[in-house]
Structure 1
Amino acid sequence: MTARILVVDDIPANVKLLEARLLAEYFDVLTAEDGFKALEICNNTQVDIVLLDIMMPGMDGFEVCERLKSNPRTMHIPVVMVTALDQPSDRVRGLKAGADDFLTKPVNDLQLVSRVKSLVRLKTMSDELRMRAETARAIGIEDLLRDEGRIEEPGQVLLVDPRANSQERIIKMLKPVAEVTAISDAQAAIFEAAEQGFELVIVSSSLDDYDPLRLCSQLRSLDRTRFLPVLLIAEQGGEDMIVRALDLGVNDYITRPLDPNELVARTLTQLKRKRYNDRLRSSVQHSIELAVTDGLTGLHNRRYLDNHLKVLFNRAATRGRSLSVCITDIDRFKVVNDTYGHDAGDEILKEFAARLRATVRGADLACRYGGEEFVVVMPDTTAEMAANIAERLRMSVEGKPFVLRSSGQEINITASLGISCNSPNVETPEQLLKEADNALYDAKRAGRNRVVAAAA
């Protein structure tokens, strides 16, 4: 694992010390002697982690962190504050400014490296999601990034702690920001986390008869909980467990005795990150759907058809099953556009798609092929069955006028349809589609408003 780390400190000796430790782990290290230089570097250079001193002249670390987190260009960069300050109030202030964690001077080598590696993993995942989402700005990714810091509803938190009195205290501490479900049994907690929509799991290191690190590892290995943030409550002096936990992918930790403000701040940080990444994943999924969906009709588009038809064709060939294709074209659609306008044409296309969707079966694949042409792929369907489905579609189009919403005007529409079915003579999905297309043109030449099957 490698990454670019920016070390920000006004004392050259501190910079050299951290730089040497990070270079020994093969990280790429940049340095800045003050907050202004740090902001400039982050704005103009790819930075993966910022190690930020608090006590600096001109602009302290809190202000630098706030500026980084308020800038859409840099808000995704994890910030670790490295400081001699070790008061809970300072940690809370830093976390509220957007810091992802703290390291106290003198810095422990193991905690430094494990913390940096853990944050790099998280950032790598977020960067991948951001990169994919930014290729589809039409779905509002810029608004998504600006909303990253919002927590509008209480978080859903699962607390795994064997002690009832500890559960009560933590539930009380988190009441302003989260609804906490407490559970004592670690194995039961795994199933609970997998089945319910939690946004954070808090794991106590003092579990009875169960290794807390094993629980954390299992949460990371299950598909349903792989991206669920985990916050470890460690005991004083538990540095070795903390380092191992971070290596396993635990997102954050807090040590006993718990400071209520720090627990709330760390919980809010994880909830915000979870919701941010969830929205990014949702936007990526949405962008994938947009890429294979026709924006006007809501049917799958030609790109999806080209890929999925190959899958269905090969599956039918392997299993010795029938596969039929129907291509349908709205008759004299150009006249509709020329007479009533393109807006009316769009209404016709949308209504045609609705009737097509209502006619085909759930297992059939309906796509807009382009213009006024549509394709239906019908798995496990013989030529005779396909002809019946196509005729049903033809009748649904002809049988009821299309009504324009803008004017209430009724327009009579018909459609021509060509069908083909796989056979030993059809060797490729492209050939299957071509035969259906030829049958469609035969239907057009024969007078339109009819179904024609390709010659066997």
Structure 2
Amino acid sequence: MQRKSLSSPGESPDLDRYAEIIKSGRYFRKISLVPLKGMLRHGEFVTLNAEEYLIRENHTKPPELIVLLEGSLAVTSQDHFIMRLNHPGDVVGEMSVVSSNPKPYADVIAEEDSQVIIFPKHLFKVAEGDTKVSVAYYIFSHILAEKLRHVTAQSLLKKNGRSHQDLSPLIGVLDPDKECRVKIKSVLENVWKKASLIELESYQEFLENPFENHFDFLIIDPEKIAEGSKQTDSIRNLIEICSAHLAPMLIISQFCKKEENRQLLAELSVADFLQKPFSDFDLQHLLTKFRKDHYRRKELEQVEIAADTDKLTGLANRRKMDEFLDAMVTLFPEEKQPFSFIIADVDHFKHYNDAHGHQLGDVVLASVASIFKNSIRRGDLAARFGGEEFVVILPNCEKDNAVLIGNKLRLAIAAEKIPYQEQQPLGNLTCTFGVAAFPEDADTKELLLKKADDCLYKGKSGGRNRVVAADPL
């Protein structure tokens, strides 16, 4: 490993180049080059050989913020993969900068020859009583905000991918002790009959793919994950990974016997724990509490869903659509997942309303919405855009496939039995569709909406009851 300070005075071609590279990263795009170069002067340029460690887990050293310039870094804990940094401007170490724990929670290793810039923790501190903040502190705050924005976007898309009709809670039990798992299952069947249970007997099995299942509740015995000096840090890492599920946790373990261990669990935001051996009554009491809390949360979720739902059609409303579209655009630089946008308009809807009244007009809108709802994939979003306009957002869908989906919807609507449809100017009740894809046809949300709307207008002008796709950029 070679380290070189970037604090040399005057202009530096290398500094300019590094700033341009980092600015292309997802967390730095909105930061201008001048403050970015100012921050870089406080950093160190580090070159790493393949398989060389930049950070070793549990080695006491001053926390640092690491920004990738070139190459690929893997973040692991106890030899379990956590994440990869392989895009210029990717960042790791921000949590150690804000944490009071001097020991890193993970290893950072170069997967190939790599270059990074490292910034010391003190650079991002603000002295007590100081009314001004440094440029570095401003940039660091921006990084945290951008990371939160990306996490929020990912959460929104994952939430949309889950079926709201399936209210059966999924409970994970991670415990190597088969006898204990059997006892937990027996009590659970009496207390929470609607719950589904997944038993995990090996930590390795869970850590290799911790997000394979979306758990509503986790029961864990972390004690045997490691022994001796490594136990506390291993338990800390396990619970932090479990916390990413955003699900309540119950620790059932002999580990809870010591007060200092219970204090550790409390520090990790684990509010409920039970010492082994335990009685059926104690477990029933805790599970009953969790069951009641679960359904309270579900009630709140239903309120949120109602706030995001168009009352007449049952589809997502305009606010929800805007949030979803923002999330897709936000995550594209990271995930490189193209998506398509379809906008549809009921042909001659005003004619139908004027001839048959608003009540039957509402029947038409509800019927069309039902076709949209029943025709999309899980993870797609169908929304009422306003009036007689509808949209569908199709993640991971190229334009050609979106056109096929648009035609499928068009034919289904034309085949729907709707009162007085034969009295429409086209002899049937139909819809016209406009299709645009991101980033093939548009590189901003606003342009995507405009191009899809322009296609809709072309379809209307060209005779209606058709699907028109946008031209690429």
Structure with higher Rg: it is 1
Name the structure with the higher helix share. Answer: 1
TM-score between both structures, scaled by the size of structure 1 = 0.44
TM-score between both structures, scaled by the size of structure 2 = 0.42
